[in-house]
Amino acid sequence: MVDRLAFEDRQGMSPESLPKASPRRLVTTGPALALAAVASVVLLATGPLRAQGAAEALFSDEAGRVGIGTSKPETRLDVDGNARIKGTLEVAGDAPITGALDVGGDGRVGKTLDVGGNARINGTLDVAGDAHTKGSLLVGGETPISSQFDARGNGHLGGNLHAGGDARVDGMLNSRARYQRDDEPEASYEISPRYHLSLTARKYGGRTRTIPMDTLLALCADPDGCQIRLAATRWAGDGQTASGSVFFTFYYSAADGNWRASETAAAGATGVDGNGRTEHAFNLWNACFLTDGKYDRFVDQGDKEKGMQLLVWNGQVNANRTCELTIID
């Protein structure tokens, strides 16, 4: 709240003289600036308006451009820093934001949304033009975007993403799946797209590479498990550039490390991760294994800690063979 508002120009004008002259400066002594009061003052001001404080927080020039965190606004409203809005954000034109954007309600932008940092919208986000974020994008509801969607970080969407053009996410794009058990209320849980690990025999022959645990849990530890694609290329000759593969459903328990591969391709293999004994979820042509134990120089090191591994073995002899593991939520 604002404790005191006073207006002064270079001659030290009083608040009572506001209707008679042009204010130059707004001085606040309270802990925050009341935007409603500022808006009414801006409408009355005919010259530059400045809010004094630790860092010249608010500035309005003679052309009516308002800067927050900058004394050189280039647009009608120019915010240099983070923006947090507890209600609805509605922008008829472009919305360029240098820092982060945090909106407690819905976000609607008539043209382009361009955020220099992270963007978090607790409600829905509706963008008529392009949407660009250099950080992460977190949206609680639906996300209709008429043109292109570009997130340089991770994307977390509570509802559907509707992009009229291209959609690019440099990090992971997470959404939520609908889930219902018996007659209980419908719930949801986060789903991520996929993970791909490729190992060559020249580098990893006789060795394992661990799947990141956070990835394994995100993709395979939810109620519907994950799909495993285990493939090999160049297993017998360099001309075999198209993969030979199998696929099966895989379930992993975050609570106790129990895992199970589905009946179709993996013959119902089961095991307990971290129980000290190496157990294989699948063996592809004695060349590529999905396993819970670790190997080094073709020697079993046991299953001493939790973690699933991709193992490159010597059942196929071509030195340029590769093992390809893809996990799909």
pLDDT (tens digit, 0 to 9) for every residue of the chain, 329 residues total? 444 444 444 444 444 444 444 434 444 444 344 444 444 444 444 455 555 554 557 888 888 888 888 888 888 888 887 777 888 777 777 777 877 788 888 888 888 888 888 888 887 888 888 887 887 777 777 787 777 777 776 676 766 777 777 777 776 666 666 767 677 787 776 666 788 999 999 999 999 999 999 999 989 998 889 999 999 999 999 999 999 999 999 999 999 999 999 866 666 799 999 999 999 999 999 999 999 999 999 999 999 999 999 999 999 989 999 999 999 98
By DSSP bridging, strand 107-109 and strand 167-169 are unpaired
Does pTM top 0.85 for this prediction?
no
In this structure, the chain runs to a length of 329
Classify 265 as helix, strand or coil.
helix
CA 34 to chain centre: 33
